[in-house]
Amino acid sequence: MRIGRDRLSGLFFLALCIAYGVEAQTIQVFWADPNDPLTPKTFPTALAWVGGFIAFLLVVSPEPPEPSHPWPQLKRFDWLRVAALLGFMVLYGSALQRVGFLVSSTAFLVAGFLLLGERRWWMIAAASLPVVAFFQFSLHGVLGIYIADPFLEWLGVIR
């Protein structure tokens, strides 16, 4: 039996459904109403069974015909840049409240532009800080939505 992407993903979902089903059994049920036909556990348990059955079908289904190498196109994909962008997003999420919206957002945009190959400094400058500053001004000044920004607070621009 050849393990291709469909079977591999089926195995992943089978494991996920088993884990979900096991976790579902730990849900606390307060029997305040013994006549309640649907406890907080019922629906997740049913989902685990249905999901497990579908995942099982995915595993036993025949794989679609594939060329000798399983995923030849994967090599042509730009995995490195995508991984770096995902990393930037995680960092951005971590920095947002510590550093502040203006600095972290501008840094995220500049890093993204540079990573994707933009080298024109005027373009990088025009599409980062002014966009973020305008957005923050619109949030604060127009929509009345306050985003905490330790850097601007330190500068005394916002209080």
Partner 1 sequence: MSEGILIGLSTAMQPLNLLMVFVGCFAGTFIGMLPGLGPISAIALMIPITYGFDPAAGMILMAGVYYGAVFGGSTSSILINAPGIAGTVATAFEGYPLAQRGDAGKALAIAAYASFAGGTIGAVLLLAAAPALAAVALSFQSADYFALMVLGLTAVSAFAARGQFLKAMMMTVVGLMLATVGQDVSSDTYRFTFGQVDLLDGFSFLLIAMATFALSEALMVVLRRQMVAPEALAATKGHMGSLALSRGEIREMVPAILRASPFGFLIGVLPGAGATIASFLAYGMERNVARGEAKARFGKGSVRGLAAPETANNAASTGSFVPLLTLGIPGSGTTAVMLGALLSFGIQPGPSLFQDRPEVFWSVIVSMYLGNVILLILNLPLIPYIARLLTLPRQILVPLILFFSLIGVYLVSFNPFDIQAMVAFAAFALVFRLMDYPMAPLILAFVLGRLMEENLRRALLINDGSISFLWERPICLGITIVTIVVLAVPIFDWWRQRRVVTAGEGG
20: contact with partner 1 by CB under 8 A: yes
25: contact with partner 1 by CB under 8 A: no
> Which residues between 106 and 135 bind partner 1 (CB under 8 A)?
108-109, 111-113, 116-118, 123, 127, 131, 135
Among 93, 125, 130, 153, binds partner 1 (CB under 8 A): 93
Give long-range contacts, CB 8 A cutoff, 24+ apart: 86-95. Answer: 88/112, 88/115
CB-count burial class (<10 Å; 0-12, 13-18, 19+) for 115: middle
Q: Are 8 and 2 in contact (CB under 8 A)?
A: no
What is the rounded distance in angstroms from the CA atom of residue 98 to the CA atom of residue 91? Answer: 11
What is the rounded distance in angstroms from the CA atom of residue 95 to the CA atom of residue 156? Answer: 20
57: contact with partner 1 by CB under 8 A: yes
97: contact with partner 1 by CB under 8 A: yes
13: contact with partner 1 by CB under 8 A: yes
In the chain, count of helices (H) and strands (E)?
7, 0
Quick one: tokens of 108? 């995220």
86: contact with partner 1 by CB under 8 A: yes
For residues 103 and 113, which CB has a smaller minimum distance to partner 1 in the complex? 113
Element (H, E) at 71: none
Compute how many other C-beta atoms are within 10 angstroms of the C-beta atom of residue 39.
15
103: contact with partner 1 by CB under 8 A: no
Binding residues for partner 1, per CB under 8 A?
Answer: 5-6, 9, 13, 16-17, 20, 23-24, 27-30, 35-38, 40, 43-44, 47, 50-51, 54-55, 57-58, 61-62, 64, 71, 74, 76-79, 81-82, 85-86, 89-90, 92-94, 96-97, 105, 108-109, 111-113, 116-118, 123, 127, 131, 135, 139, 143, 145, 147-148
